[in-house]
Chains A and B, each alone.
Chain A
Amino acid sequence: MHKELADLINRHVSGAQAVAFIAADSKSDSSITVEASHIYKVVEFLKTNKEISFNSLHVISGVDYLEHMEVCYMLTNYNPEAVRDLILKVKLTDRVSPSVDSIVKLFAAANFQEREVYDMFGIKFNNHPDMRRILCPDDWEGFPLRKDYVAQKVYNGMNVYPDSKMNMEDREFIVRQDMIKKAQESKAQ
């Protein structure tokens, strides 16, 4: 299904460069990757085309692979005869100020979902009506779900990780890690 769909997208949306990733076995899901600049047109095509008609957006999820970031759009069709899910992906190589076109005009669900992706990954969505953080406070620094995220030490004059409360010695678990190391060494011997 994914291969035909990718062909269909390429035929109707010029420059989308849809590539289907077909999973080797049932243990993993297939997906379609499209060019980031064409996402709005692709989603519009998938929504309005009568044969495919993915009429609902379930969720937008971001994944950080360090060398690039991905935004995954989970489209679904609420059609009792043929239930279908589609993972539609765009790849973003820019880590400093990544941005994609917003699809709020097509799916109202994208409003909160895109805000969450922005909150967690710092991916800006162009033409979004209300691009603010949603789960973290507005003045929070950094984007938590990036793999290279380091939590800020001081927030609004408050210490985020007060040593007195967290009991850092136990947290870092010097004792346990020593134990594991020793056990591994003794095993190696």
Chain B
Amino acid sequence: MQSRWDIGQPERPTINSETEKLKSELLTLNMGPQHPATHGVLRIEIWTDSEIVAHAIPHLGYLHRCMEKHAESLDFRGVIPFVDRLDYLASMNMEWTYAMAIEKMLGTEVPRRAELLRILTGELQRIASHLMAFGTYALDLGAFSPFLYAFDYREKILRLFEEVSGARLLYNYIWIGGLWNDWTDDQLVRVGQFCDEMEEEAKKYHELVSLNKIFVQRTANVGIMTVQDCLDFGASGPVLRGAGMKWDLRKNAPYSLYNEFDFDVPVGTGEMGQVGDCWNRYIVRMKEVGESIKIIRQVLEKLEPGPVMGKVPKVMKLPAGEVYVRAECPRGELAFHLVAKADEKTPYRLKVKSPCFTHTSMLPRVAPGQMIADFVATVGSIDIVLGEVDR
């Protein structure tokens, strides 16, 4: 069988003079598939020169579930449970983007209350996802307690979602044309209370982790991705914003009702370390939690009673054509390329543009020259979910 080494070794990187003295043979190290720091079943083959990574090759496909092939044999409603399982930490945003793609082709008008509630759930999900990213990132770097605090508050969001949709993780809540269920007033009041609590809690996280000397030492100036790198690789979301580019689809190309809302787009400013490093990517996420809370408060003010389900045909058939719909998800820009044929009940082709897949492809670019421990910090900071990478 052809060995991995036959694909052509990269040139040996010259790191600095000190390591050149310690010149030795490259050692192959397998990180994963069961490595806790890879957040799933990602295997990265690392060629190390003593403690320094010379080259990293991601091997994907351990969680490949043929979702795109499955979707071709399911009706348009039946795809939603599968779309949920792409990024299982941000299912609401996945469903929402998929629903947007179908609605664009159907020409369905979604009721105003449903749109507002979609924004509410989407932003709550963004907070939950960023809390998860925060907790596990701290865990990667050796701090255990932030993980527990983050999960405590994530749990409150999941409890709300469970009450409103019936499931804790894979909701099947945002349907084509609207929402499955309406939120009750009592639940909305609890969302308001949660926002107040979360704001206090976020300050605590900031004190506990963001400014901690050990954490800053581990993350500042590590894994630098420049804006040019990000554009070259098509990166988006916190990775692009952490590199200092003010780019957010909710602001630059507003979909749904986002143009009615007042919020900022946090970018990495280089407060610690330099722009584009792990610390800046991390702090962008933490600031986004605050922005999401802002949006949720505005939604709560704007909400008026009304229907939550638009008019959709019972047997769904799309007109022939194709759409490419993008949306801003917690991890970056998710997009669906949907090709439909007339009078077919199933999608002809459903291609998922997953942000995590793009970000994983950036690892070989940033890895060379890093310490192995820094590489763990880099992988954690781009916050990948393997369900979305492998689909």
List residues of chain A with CB under 8 Å of any chain B CB. 23, 25-29, 31, 55-59, 61-64, 72, 74, 76, 78, 80, 83, 85, 87, 107-109, 111-112, 116, 120, 129-130, 132-139, 144-145
B residues contacting A by CB (< 8 A) are: 1-2, 7-8, 60-61, 64, 66, 68-69, 104-107, 229, 231-234, 240, 245-247, 252-253, 319-324, 326, 333, 335, 337, 339, 348-349, 351, 353, 357-358, 360-361, 365, 390-391
A109 adjacent to B358 (CB under 8 Å): yes
Q: State in angstroms the CA–CA spacing of A85 and B322 once bound together.
A: 14
**Cα distance A78–B353 when bound, in Å?**
16
- Whether the Cβ atoms of B245 and A63 lie closer than 8 Å is no
A selection of 5 A-B contacts at a CB cut-off of 8 Å is A78-B245, A87-B322, A108-B229, A108-B361, A108-B365
Contact of A145 among B69, B104, B323 (CB under 8 A): B69
Total A-B Cβ pairs within 8 A:
108
Chain B contacts for A61, CB-based, 8 A: 337, 349, 351, 353
Please pick, from B233, B247, B321, B335, the residue contacting A74 in the complex, using a CB distance under 8 A. B335
- For B361, the closest partner residue in chain A by CB is A112
CB atoms of B353 and A58 under 8 A apart: yes
CB nearest to A85 among chain B residues: B324
Establish whether residues A144 and B69, one from each chain, have CB atoms under 8 Å apart when the complex forms.
yes
Distance in angstroms between the alpha carbons of A28 and B333 in the assembled complex: 20
Closest residue to A64 on the B side, CB-wise?
B349
Q: Which residues of B contact A137 (CB under 8 A)?
A: 61
Bound together, the chains give a CA A78 to CA B64 distance in angstroms of 30
| Residue with the greatest number of chain B CB neighbours at <10 A, chosen from A23, A109, A133 | A109
Q: Which residues of B contact A134 (CB under 8 A)?
A: 60-61
**In the complex, A63 Cα to B357 Cα: how many Å?**
19
Q: How far is the CB of A23 from chain B (nearest CB, A)?
A: 6
Tell me which of A62, A78, A133 has the highest count of chain B C-beta atoms within 10 A of its own C-beta.
A78
A28/B234 contact (C-beta < 8 A), A63-B349, A134-B60 known: no
Q: Whole-angstrom distance between the alpha carbons of A89 and B68 in the complex?
A: 20
Are B66 and A144 touching (Cβ within 8 A)? Answer: yes
The residue from A29, A59, A107, A138 contacting B232, defined by CB atoms under 8 A apart: A107
**Bound-state Cα–Cα, A86 to B49, Å:** 43
- A87 to B233: give the CA distance in the assembly, Å: 18
B234 lies within 8 A of A107 (CB): yes
